[in-house]
A = this chain, B = another copy of it.
Amino acid sequence: MHDDPHFAPAAAGFQALQDRICAALEGLDGTAFRHDDWTRDDAELRGFGRTRVLEGGAVLEKAGVNFSQVHGEFSEAFAATMPGAGRAFVATGISLVLHPRSPHIPTVHMNYRRLSRGNVGWFGGGADLTPYYLDLTDVRHFHRVHRDVCRSYADVVDWPTLVRDCDRYFVLPHRGERRGVGGLFFDHWGEVPERMAEFVAAAGNAFLDAWLPIAQRHLADGYGERERAWQLARRGRYVEFNLVHDRGTLFGLKTGGRIESVLMSLPPLAAWPYDPHVAPDSREAELLRMVRAGYDPTSDPDL
């Protein structure tokens, strides 16, 4: 079928990571994940997935932690947008989006994947944080954990480049905003030394260290209707990004992926109020300024 030596070890690592993350989130929330395993074996796509969903939790309003391992054929049009030759591809990855109930806990996304097509294979992925209210302590913590991983693999990755690519990727041009405060992003690496596979495993393993302490810090923060309304409107932006721009989502839609898994990243509830008023000196305005101007952790002396 394929002769990608990185595929099977990556798939095994992603599954183990999925188990570990789900266990930790169940510990945080007190709610069990629903397991929805699936297999596909048709003309479009063959393989299996382990979808894990938690809805209506105490901390997590909706959380999805997916693993999948599939092979299939790109459409002609989609194949033209990808490196490599031929239409056959294999893909495996872990993909996670957590939508907390509290507006004081940031939404977070993480995805690491291995894809190959013909004799070209690449790793890709990253993690990014989307707060509703700005807390620099949180933002710095998230970036610091990822920076430290990148520095341990400085022979294969350059942290400032991954930060910059994240910043360039998670953008809503029509809003003049970034999705959040950034993180890491990388894709389409041609040559894959063994160390790159190790970096991907390490970055995935760092996820819980990066996000869990942030959630724990804000568990007891109070909020009311105003904060909830703001969160729902910002979640609308999350939907806009995922449906208009996100390559992972479009990849899923265009390769006939399992739709409930592909769109699991969408929030439990989102709002589109018309042109809502944001007072200039409010905490909502502070967040808006940050997503408009951007945040650069590589030049933050306090990171």
- A residues with CB within 8 A of B: 34, 36, 53, 55, 62, 64, 174-175, 232, 236, 239-240, 243-244, 253, 259-260, 262-264, 266-275
Give the complex CA separation of A269 and B232 in angstroms. Answer: 8
Give the complex CA separation of A36 and B259 in angstroms. Answer: 38
- Asked whether A273 lies within 8 Å of B36 as measured between CB atoms, the reply is no
Give the complex CA separation of A263 and B271 in angstroms. Answer: 12
- Asked whether A55 lies within 8 Å of B270 as measured between CB atoms, the reply is no
Which of A232, A243, A270 is packed against the most chain B CB atoms within 10 Å?
A270
Q: A239-B243, A243-B239 are in contact. Are A264 and B274 (CB under 8 A)?
A: yes
Min CB gap A78→B, angstroms: 14
Min CB gap A52→B, angstroms: 10
15 A-B pairs, CB-CB below 8 angstroms?
A53-B275, A55-B274, A62-B274, A174-B253, A236-B266, A240-B243, A240-B263, A243-B243, A244-B253, A260-B274, A264-B274, A268-B271, A268-B272, A269-B270, A270-B271
Query: What residue in chain B is nearest A64 (Cβ atoms)?
Result: B274
Min CB gap A66→B, angstroms: 11
- Asked whether A55 lies within 8 Å of B263 as measured between CB atoms, the reply is no
Which of A36, A174, A260, A268 is packed against the most chain B CB atoms within 10 Å?
A174
Give the complex CA separation of A275 and B260 in angstroms. Answer: 6
For A232, list chain B residues within 8 Å (CB): 269
For A175, list chain B residues within 8 Å (CB): 259
